[in-house]
């Protein structure tokens, strides 16, 4: 029987809670908290060293990096056989790989490996069904997008472009003053 005076009662209660499956052990829980905090800070520091685009404009490889970082930060603290150093090494590897890929994208030969070129889905009021299918969209998707941009008639849309990041740009006919605007040259 434990004494009720001083730290003895607290120690006895902690020892009983350590044996309950719901609580695990306070020492193990402490390490989970420490590893989670350290991995979180490592991820924040890694993202701060990286480019802002990691969080602002997510492409496919940005998304993969974000999910991988989330998985590492979420799982390593609870893994009893994985140390913080192992988790941090994994995390840093993912962040460095992401940085390398973002640099390789600046070289045109490599950019095509990571980014899809923009696709014209509608030109001068005419839907280009083959490009729409390749983008995985339907005519109903296109109609909804046009309505969201205030276009109520197909002939009012000059271009709809499926951008590299998966967003759609709508250029209204009344917005085009130059017959060959610089940013859409070569897209037709």
Q: Give the pLDDT score at 2.
A: 47
Residue for token pair 């719901």: 22
Structure-token pair, residue 36: 């989670």
| E-only strand ranges, the chain | 119-123, 126-127, 157-162, 168-172
The residue-averaged pLDDT of 40-69 equals 72
Q: Give the pLDDT score at 1.
A: 45
Q: Give the pLDDT score at 20.
A: 47
The residue-averaged pLDDT of 145-165 equals 88
Please state, for a pLDDT cut of 90, what percent of the chain lies above it: 9
Q: Are strands 126-127 and 157-162 parallel, antiparallel or unpaired?
A: unpaired
Cβ neighbors of 49 (< 8 A, separation 6 or more) are 95
The residue-averaged pLDDT of 105-119 equals 83
Cα separation, 76 vs 145, in Å, equals 41
Residue 54 has pLDDT above 50, yes or no: no
pLDDT band at 102 (very low <50, low <70, confident <90, very high): confident
Q: Give the pLDDT score at 19.
A: 53
- Tell which wins on pLDDT, 86 or 60: 86
Please spell the DSSP secondary structure of 135-172, one letter per residue.
TT--HHHHHHHHHHTT--SGGGEEEEEE-TTS-EEEEE
Residue 169 has pLDDT above 60, yes or no: yes
Global pTM value: 0.58
Q: Domains of the chain by range and CATH?
A: 7-111 (no CATH), 119-184 (3.30.240.20)
Q: How high is the mean pLDDT of the chain? A: 78
| CA 177 to chain CA centroid, nearest Å | 36
pLDDT tens for residues 137-146? 899 988 998 9
The residue-averaged pLDDT of 43-64 equals 67
| CA 13 to chain CA centroid, nearest Å | 44
pLDDT tens for residues 78-95? 888 888 888 889 988 988
Residue 38 has pLDDT above 70, yes or no: yes
Q: Give the pLDDT score at 178.
A: 65
């Amino acid at each position: 029987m434990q004494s009720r005076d001083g730290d003895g009662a607290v120690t006895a209660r902690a020892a009983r809670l350590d044996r309950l499956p719901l609580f695990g052990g306070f020492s193990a829980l402490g390490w989970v908290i420490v590893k989670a905090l350290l991995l979180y800070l490592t991820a924040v520091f890694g993202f701060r060293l990286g480019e802002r685009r990691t969080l602002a404009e997510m492409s496919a490889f940005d998304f993969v990096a974000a999910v991988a970082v989330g998985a590492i930060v979420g799982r390593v603290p609870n893994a009893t056989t994985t140390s913080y150093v192992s988790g941090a090494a994994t995390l840093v590897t993912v962040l460095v790989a992401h940085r390398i890929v973002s640099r390789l994208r600046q070289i045109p030969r490599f950019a095509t490996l990571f980014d899809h070129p923009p696709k014209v889905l509608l030109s001068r009021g005419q839907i280009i069904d083959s490009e729409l299918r390749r983008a995985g969209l339907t005519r109903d998707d296109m109609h909804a997008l046009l309505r969201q941009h205030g276009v109520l008639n197909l002939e009012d849309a000059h271009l709809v472009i499926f951008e590299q990041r998966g967003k759609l740009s709508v250029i209204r006919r009344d917005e085009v003053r130059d017959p060959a605007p610089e940013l859409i040259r070569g897209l037709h």
